[in-house]
Amino acid sequence: MKRLMTNTLLATVFAGLAGCATNPIVGSAGNQAGRYTGDVGISGNGTTLTIQSGSQVPKLSIIGDACTVTVEDGANVGRIEFWGNGNTVTIPDNLNVMTAAMGTNKIVRRPPGQSAPTHGEPTTKPAGQ
């Protein structure tokens, strides 16, 4: 019983902090991409999000299950917080982030330049760009 109360209290505090996100994304099975400035909070299951190059995200909070987030090269994310299971965040290998997790989640590091092109972006770019 004590453990249940402790987990409930932690969930309430974490939900309150995630609710303060500058860029809230609420709902399940959504697909979104954008350039963000400020905290980003995902509440829901199965959401797919791409944080595009040029974004400045001090904190990414995920409350839910089976969400997928891709951080493009040139985007900055300082902290990733998970509350749920089966979430995956793919980040450039050279991006150092702090993490906090409740549940089983993973951060996948990839070599810079190995991200998939965003919608409407050519699959190849001229040299130097």
In the chain (129 residues long), the average pLDDT of successive 10-residue segments reads: 66 55 87 96 96 97 97 97 97 95 95 60 42
**Can you give the three-state secondary structure of 52-65, one letter per residue?**
CCCCEEEEEEEECC
Query: For position 88, what pLDDT does the model report?
Result: 98
Query: For position 129, what pLDDT does the model report?
Result: 46
Residue 37 DSSP label: B
- Which long-range contacts link 71-79 to residues 24+ away (Cβ below 8 Å)? 71/95, 72/115, 72/118, 73/112, 73/113, 73/115, 75/35, 75/51, 77/51
Query: For position 10, what pLDDT does the model report?
Result: 57
**With a threshold of 0.85, does the pTM exceed it?**
no
